[in-house]
Amino acid sequence: MIESKIRSIMARVFGVSDAEINADTSNETLERWDSLGHMNLCLALEEEFGIELEADKVPEMTSFPKVVAAVSSAVQRK
Amino acid sequence: MTTTQQASSLTGILETVRNAEAGGAEGLQPLRIFILRNYTVEGMLPLLKFQCLRSGLNPTITVGDYDNIRQEILDPGSQLHRSDPELIVLSVYLEHLDPGCIDASWDSSSAHDAMLSMLQELIARTRAPIIVNTFLAPLHVESSIHAARDPNHRVARVQALNAAIRAFAAEHPGQIYVVDWERIQRVLGEEKTIDYRFYYMYRAPFRKEFGEAYSAQVAQIARLLKGKVRKCVVLDADNTLWGGVVGEEGLDGIALDPHAYPGRCYHEFQRSVLNLIQKGVIVAICSKNNEEDLFEVLDKHPHSLLRRNHLAAWRVNWNNKAENIAALARELNIGLDSMVFVDDSSMECQLIREALPEVTVLQVPAKLHELPRLLYQDGLFDTLTVSAEDAQRTAMYVAERERNALKSQVTNIDDYLASLDLRATLRRATDADLGRVAQLLGKTNQFNLTTRRHPESAVRAYAADPNWAIWVMEAGDRFSDLGLVAVMMVRREGELGIVDSLLMSCRALGRRLEDVFVDWALARLESEWGVKRWQAHYIPTRKNAQVREFWAQAGFTTTDATDTLTTYEIEAAARRRPQVSFVRILES
């Protein structure tokens, strides 16, 4: 559930199809996932889930699985 | 936060901006913006683009190198100067301009000098309008007790710095505009202003809410610089200007009493309408009503602030409101995109949004206590300059109605024009005229041959240039003074005179004043400058088709014509002088 919502948000932030977001997706594989794209991604996730990501987690969220993990833990803390 | 805009999600904004960049914004007016900055603005760019798109602009935004403002300004070959921007945003974050500002012992004079010299250097090197920001007062102070009372505290120093920025902008009214960051912060609150995580990680201090508010104000100024001014508010009557339905509840039954609720909400809303009239906005009514019932309120209700003479026009009938509003636009000679429509019915609002998407539609808020500030929101009716003509505008439309009443009694158009007792004062523009000249250049759409939106700073430079001449015409008749209504800007290249700009306010149309003005100004330059040959241009826009044949009718010959520019020329000696006997010419 969380995973599919994150997939759709990432697809919209980076301008790709949902299918292009999978376990292998990382900041190495997506053209728009640069530092600015990363900031947009964090802000969009926070907005859509109503969460605040931990500052220390932000730089570590470099792949789809890591993003899912960070968002899940932030949602649980809410 | 606002009523005209719904909050948009970041993902939605990013998608809209990507679509526009992929070609979805064709048809919107292009605008080149350059941002000089000393912090990470990149995250705000989608927000700024989005706000520009909403304002009918298709922006190309170039961002200067990080914290390299001074060099960008001073180097004539820099990106800034090469990109020839139409608007410069000088976006300065105090903590990066002067890192010492977080110290208790901060001396603000170096930040003051750095900021003002940047502005000085910039205006010496560009004519483009500049938007500068005020600084945010420090959010965290080591002692709030001292901060509150110490006139030398850095909180007070930031305020003094901001006052200096405002004062500098006030000295350059045609070129420098201020977006007040401090006010945005006050409205949003600290929580929605700064995101310290991204500030410390990426040097990107601002949260989305702050970025949106800042971008909205920049886009607002950009919209006005491009001449997209809102000129008219079209009001529904029942449950908009007063509570209840006058046709059913009668004069005594409607709610408009300032001493009772909900009457005072409507009463105060009417007051806001009157304030807009003072600013030069014109008011029309579009209501499904019996005309007698409606005017009984305006003429007789003891608490109605709005009276018949405040109206520039009205459509009170049972027709479709979209047709009525389109007819009002034609009658008032203004574009649909300069109109704001207010109605309590969601059905009527939806109809207008669909049928006339250019019109800004506001629905009377369900929370009635929000009605009094409805028209003040989002800087809807903001203008860049205010001129003496603004406050008179409604009176001019009322006089126009009286003229039309006279016209219907006279059968011959020349008799009618003669009966108006027209007068025109023609002169070289003086310093005092230049604000109004820039205002007309900025907003005149229909009678405008080239639609060159020279900013006020450029107008002032041309006025001082011996190879340029700016002519103006003030006009009046027995009903009213029309004020300064026409502008012609001419430059010379040897014995060739080139008409750069020619425009006339639509309120002066249909009296052949333009023929008198152009003939007189050209004749003056033929003797003053020795002009032997004239060149003039027509640049088509979506709104100026009515002047397509102007130069041909004045006897000029087409020498070159493309879809975007027609060039005309004529020998000065071959120029026909128009015979207009009914205009009294006063030269000064």
Inspect the interface and report whether the beta carbons of A9 and B11 lie closer than 8 Å: yes
Q: Does A62 touch chain B (CB under 8 A)?
A: no
* Tens place of pLDDT per residue across chain B (588 aa): 333 445 689 999 999 999 999 988 887 899 999 999 999 999 999 999 999 998 889 999 999 999 999 999 999 999 999 999 999 999 999 999 999 998 888 999 999 999 999 999 999 999 999 999 999 987 777 777 888 888 888 889 999 999 999 999 999 988 999 999 999 999 999 889 999 999 998 999 999 999 999 999 999 999 999 888 899 999 999 999 999 999 999 999 999 999 999 999 999 999 999 999 998 999 999 999 999 999 999 999 999 999 999 999 999 999 999 999 999 999 998 989 899 999 999 999 999 999 998 899 999 999 999 999 999 987 889 888 777 778 788 888 888 888 888 877 776 777 888 888 899 999 999 999 999 999 999 989 999 999 999 999 999 999 999 999 999 999 998 888 889 999 999 999 999 999 999 999 988 888 889 999 999 999 999 999 999 999 999 999 988 998 999 999 999 999 999 999 999 999 999 998 888 888 888 876
Partners of residue A49 in chain B, C-beta under 8 Å: none
Q: Does B18 touch chain A (CB under 8 A)?
A: yes
Inspect the interface and report whether the beta carbons of B14 and A9 lie closer than 8 Å: no
CA distance from start to end of chain A: 17
Inspect the interface and report whether the beta carbons of A59 and B208 lie closer than 8 Å: no
Q: Does B197 touch chain A (CB under 8 A)?
A: yes
**Displacement of CA B105 from its chain's centroid (Å):** 43
- Greatest C-alpha distance within chain A: 32
- Greatest C-alpha distance within chain B: 81
ipTM of the complex: 0.93
Order of strands across the sheet with B583-587? B557-561, B566-571, B533-538, B496-504, B481-493, B468-476, B422-428, B583-587
Residue of A nearest to B22 (CA): A15
Residue of A nearest to B205 (CA): A39
Inspect the interface and report whether the beta carbons of B14 and A39 lie closer than 8 Å: no
Inspect the interface and report whether the beta carbons of A47 and B202 lie closer than 8 Å: no
Supply the pLDDT for residue B514. 94
* pLDDT (tens digit per residue) in A32-59: 999 889 999 999 999 999 999 998 899 9
> SS3 for B414?
helix
Pairs across A and B, CB distance < 8 A? 40
Contact B410, B582 (CB under 8 A): no
Inspect the interface and report whether the beta carbons of A40 and B202 lie closer than 8 Å: no
pTM: 0.73
CA–CA separation, A69 vs A73, rounded Å? 6
Q: H helices of B242-381, where?
A: 246-249, 263-279, 291-300, 321-332, 346-355
**Which residue among B10, B202, B208 places its CB closest to the CB of A35?**
B202
Distance from CA of B18 to the nearest CA of A (A): 8
Strands B468-476 and B481-493: antiparallel
Inspect the interface and report whether the beta carbons of B43 and A39 lie closer than 8 Å: yes
Closest by CA to B338, choosing from B359, B312, B363, is: B359
> SS3 for B485?
strand
**Which residue among A12, A36, A48 places its CB closest to the CB of B42?**
A36
Q: Which helix (H) or strand (E) holds B313?
A: strand B311-316
Residue with tokens 């009294």: B584
C-alpha count within 13 angstroms, C-beta hemisphere, residue B172: 26
- Identify from A8, A9, A32, A39 which residue to disrupt to test chain B contact, counting B C-beta atoms within 10 A and taking the largest count: A39
Residue with tokens 């906005």: B281
Q: Hey, which residues 14-53 in chain A have their CB within 8 Å of chain B?
A: 15, 35-36, 39-40, 43-44, 47-48
Distance from CA of B122 to the nearest CA of A (A): 29
Distance from CA of A24 to the nearest CA of B (A): 22
Residue with tokens 């306010």: B505
Inspect the interface and report whether the beta carbons of A40 and B10 lie closer than 8 Å: yes
Contact B443, B385 (CB under 8 A): no
CA–CA separation, B129 vs B88, rounded Å? 6
b/e string for A39-64 if b means 16 or more Cβ within 10 A?
bbbbbbbbebbebebeeebbeebebb
Partners of residue B11 in chain A, C-beta under 8 Å: 9, 12-13, 44, 48
Distance from CA of B279 to the nearest CA of A (A): 39
Closest by CA to B219, choosing from B1, B56, B338, is: B56
Partners of residue B204 in chain A, C-beta under 8 Å: 39
Q: What secondary structure does DSSP assign to B151-168, as a single string?
A: TTSHHHHHHHHHHHHHHH
